[in-house]
Structure 1
Amino acid sequence: MKKFALITGASGGIGSQTANILAEQGWNLYLHYHSNEHAMKDLLRHLDQFQGEFIPVKADLTAEGGPEELLSHIFQVDAVVFASGKPLYGLFQDIADREMDDMWNLHVKSPVRIMQGMLPKLLNSPVGSAVIVSSIWGETGAACEVLYSTVKGAQIALVKSLSKELARNGIRVNAIAPGAVNTDMMSGFSTEELAMIAEEIPMGRMAEPFEVANTIEFLLSPKASYITGQVISVNGGWYT
């Protein structure tokens, strides 16, 4: 039987690595992206080596109607990976209403609406599962990233509560909480700042995207068949 997974944010560092690993494991993929068409084309070219169906889907998940646009292209799904995300740096008192709306829609409202739309399909799957890529800051909180920490904390609350509601239906819901990961999300930091962050991490370096993606693949696999409602920290020992 063919297995299909939806990956939101598939053009990003963690999303694209997750796509590569799942494709290698025989998954067929719906690959969501918004504006990074070049990265999506590169990903599709790389996935050509695998025998599978790889379907790009463009949608703006910060916009009203974005989740519905995405859902209209999905016909079968056995797993959902929410890897969409963007940071927001700055002082708490400077956060604008539009920034609040965009961050809430992207990180919280869209996952809720997409899971609602995907639920009938996940219920029909013998391996229904979802993984949300949250953040270390959703667990710990970060100064100058208050709104980001807030929405990432809301994702963790969603995982813990929804996993209990869906457990008897055989659908597993988990989260990954990465620390600093070597993706474009860190591009706003200087070389000196990145070195300081690496020094704070007990393992002495940032994570690579494939290390987060490997954990996602594990949570979707039969090896994790009794794991639900958990937040797996992939952070090199940072803030434990």
Structure 2
Amino acid sequence: MPRILAATLLVLLATGPLAALAATVQVAAAANLAAPMKAIAAGFQAATGHRASVALGSTGKFYAQVRNGAPFEVLLAADDETPARLEQEGLGVRGSRFTYATGRLALWSAEADVVDAQLAVLRQPPAGKMAIADPRIAPYGAAALQVLAKMGVRDDWQPHLVQGENIGQAFQFVASGNARLGFVALSQVMSDGRIPRGSAWIVPPGMHAPLKQDALLLSPGANNPAARALLDYLRSDAARTVLRSYGYTF
């Protein structure tokens, strides 16, 4: 047998079973996962052969879409309440829900020296706009209001707040300069364990309700091996290493 043909057959034999069993999972992921999900999806595909097709958005909107029949198979929420509600309503597979990470909140400005350790920018009269995610549908937005209330400055800042539909849009308001600062997910401004741009204050966890982020196998994904494989992969050291590098804890 010619050497090239033999080598080709060996490659096919090695990859054929994996390719034959590969499937795609439709994932609804909270907007704070935008950066880490790129690495996680790539690692997932390399490890399993399966592919993750990821839609990013607010957890509250995903809840409404799932209830209206959206064909998502896995939900990676920004809270633990929404997956629990969907599971209770019979829209998720019972027993599949778990906390895949705990998020962190950061007050961030794209400009250097705007946010300092003493938080003078919050305690002084407001100058410029502050972006937050819509607290009605985005857990990170609700957490931001809790922080402002705990610091006693919520009433001062309320007229200066601009709301993004989700934490991704809130981040864009700040990154583009349309807001001077904003409460964003730490994962949006941290990479490899550091914050390379602007100025930031990482909010201590005790200043707001824990941002426990739960995963749930939704009913449309019950018989999809790729959906179950993704949930398993999220528990792996490889996935947790990625999430940890973006500021998540476990």
The two structures have a TM-score, normalised by structure 2, of 0.30
Question: Which protein is bigger by CA-based radius of gyration?
Answer: 2
Is the strand fraction higher in 1 or 2? 2
* Structure number with higher relative contact order (C-alpha < 8 Å, ≥ 6 residues apart): 2
